[in-house]
């Protein structure tokens, strides 16, 4: 399985290109690409994606060959500098336990190092024990447990209230 | 000293403020980022973060304004709820607390979040930092770790290198 598995990077530009090809609007592609290139990391709310793909003969019964993905974006620590945040990691249930998750994370790690990042951060919910065990086995540590860091959010009415004079 | 302040960007005192914040959090020994990297990453061609500062005007108009607070943020994305403004650092100098400066910074950032169509403002707080925890909870912040079991996990540089190495299968 590991030799047949392909991990591809999917950038916004590639997605835009694929879409445009499908819709046969070549000029639109150029404009879209240029807009995306002008966005700096900080202004760009988009994330990057990588896809795990299997050959046709391994496709799911519904016909999918894209059987896993990871979404990430760049963040920053004032102590250690550039970092990557992995927002999502997903492998279809029938393809779990075959090293697909590891392969995706390995690619994210390579991309992180290539971009000069010193850390890879992500969150796991504490009731998801299989995921927690998997991640810990890969060599990460639980920042919330060891350093007492809590993730917090202001949203909806609370955010609107904060914004008022 | 006036109690009002205003926020704008600068790159002159950012490294000094970060140093002071690291001291406050007793994490100076963990800072590996150089001043050069910090300035290049924030104010070079591809900014990884933004900063705002609050200055207080002195009694005399001839005095330089004094920087008394700052915040460092960037944008993140949650496919479920959309764009977020992530508050990475937020600090008001000790002797200037309790004057509404922190609230002013948060107000500026919340406005910015709403203007840029973020659905939330996110940040991390150390659970033993009682004053900060209360400061945020009073303003309606949800503790996602406590309420929804969110745990922040991290791969540091060494473990990243190990993970990036091709596997022998």
Note the pLDDT tens digit of each residue in B17-34: 777 777 777 777 777 888
Rounded distance, CA B151 to CA A91, Å? 20
Task: Label residue A40 by pLDDT band (50, 70, 90).
Answer: very low
For residue A57, give both structure tokens: 């003969």
Residues of B in contact with A74 (CB under 8 A): 48
Active site residue ranges of A:
135
Query: A154 with B140: CB under 8 angstroms?
Result: yes
Lowest-confidence pick of A59-68, B23-32, B100-109:
B23-32
Task: Label residue A35 by pLDDT band (50, 70, 90).
Answer: very low
Residues of B in contact with A134 (CB under 8 A): none
Sheet holding A119-125, edge to edge: A6-10, A48-53, A66-77, A81-91, A119-125, B150-155, A141-142
For residue B143, give both structure tokens: 């503790």
Task: Label residue A119 by pLDDT band (50, 70, 90).
Answer: very high
CB contact under 8 A, B152 and A151: yes
CB contact under 8 A, B22 and A123: no
For residue B1, give both structure tokens: 């000293």
Task: Label residue A12 by pLDDT band (50, 70, 90).
Answer: low
Note the pLDDT tens digit of each residue in A140-150: 999 999 999 99
Domain A6-122 has CATH 2.40.50.100: no
What three-state secondary structure class fits A139?
Answer: coil
The yes-or-no verdict on residue A48 having pLDDT over 90 is no
Q: What pTM does this model have?
A: 0.81
Rounded distance, CA B160 to CA A118, Å? 8
Rounded distance, CA A37 to CA A15, Å? 14
- Give how far Cα B134 sits from Cα of A115, B109, B125, B140, Å: 37, 19, 10, 10
pLDDT at B6: 47
Average of per-residue pLDDT across B112-124: 93
Note the pLDDT tens digit of each residue in B31-74: 788 888 888 888 887 889 999 989 888 777 777 788 889 899 99
> Percent of chain B, pLDDT > 70?
89
Q: Mean pLDDT score of chain A, rounded to an integer? A: 79
pLDDT at A44: 54
Residue B77 neighbours by CB distance under 10 Å: 20
pLDDT at A164: 85
Q: Mean pLDDT score of chain B, rounded to an integer? A: 84
pLDDT at B11: 57
CB contact under 8 A, A132 and B151: yes
Average of per-residue pLDDT across A126-139: 92
Query: A69 with A50: CB under 8 angstroms?
Result: yes
Q: Which of B:18-77 have CB within 8 Å of A?
A: 18, 21-22, 27, 30-33, 37-38, 41, 45-50, 72, 74-77
The yes-or-no verdict on residue A113 having pLDDT over 90 is yes
The yes-or-no verdict on residue A33 having pLDDT over 60 is no
Strand partners, A53: A6, A66
């Amino acid at each position: 399985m590991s030799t047949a598995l392909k991990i591809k990077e999917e950038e916004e530009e590639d997605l835009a290109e694929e879409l445009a090809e499908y819709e046969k609007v070549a000029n639109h592609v150029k404009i879209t690409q240029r807009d995306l290139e002008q966005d700096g990391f900080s202004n760009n709310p988009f994330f990057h994606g990588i896809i795990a793909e299997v050959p046709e003969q391994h496709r799911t019964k519904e016909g999918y060959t894209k059987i896993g993905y990871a979404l990430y974006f760049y963040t920053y620590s004032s102590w250690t500098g550039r970092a990557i945040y992995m927002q999502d990691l997903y492998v279809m249930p029938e393809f779990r336990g075959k090293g697909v998750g590891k392969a995706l994370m390995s690619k994210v790690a390579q991309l992180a190092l290539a971009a000069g990042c010193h850390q890879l951060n992500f969150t796991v919910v504490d009731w998801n024990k299989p995921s927690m065990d998997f991640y810990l086995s890969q060599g990460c540590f639980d920042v919330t447990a060891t350093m007492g860091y809590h993730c917090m959010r202001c949203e909806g009415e609370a955010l609107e209230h904060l914004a008022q004079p | 000293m006036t109690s009002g302040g205003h926020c704008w960007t600068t790159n002159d005192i950012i490294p000094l403020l970060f140093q002071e914040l690291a001291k406050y959090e007793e994490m100076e020994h963990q800072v590996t980022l150089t001043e050069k990297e910090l300035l290049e990453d924030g104010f070079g061609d591809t900014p990884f973060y933004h900063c705002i500062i609050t200055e207080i005007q002195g009694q005399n108009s001839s005095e330089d304004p004094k920087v008394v607070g700052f915040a460092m943020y960037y944008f993140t994305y949650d496919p479920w709820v959309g764009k977020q403004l992530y508050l990475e650092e937020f600090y008001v100098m000790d002797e200037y607390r309790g004057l509404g400066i922190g609230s002013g910074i948060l107000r500026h950032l919340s406005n910015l979040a709403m203007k840029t169509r973020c659905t939330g403002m996110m940040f991390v707080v150390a659970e033993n930092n009682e004053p900060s925890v209360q400061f945020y909870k009073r303003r309606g912040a949800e503790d996602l770790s406590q309420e929804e079991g969110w745990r922040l996990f991290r791969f540091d540089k060494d473990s990243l290198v190990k993970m990036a190495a091709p596997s022998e299968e």
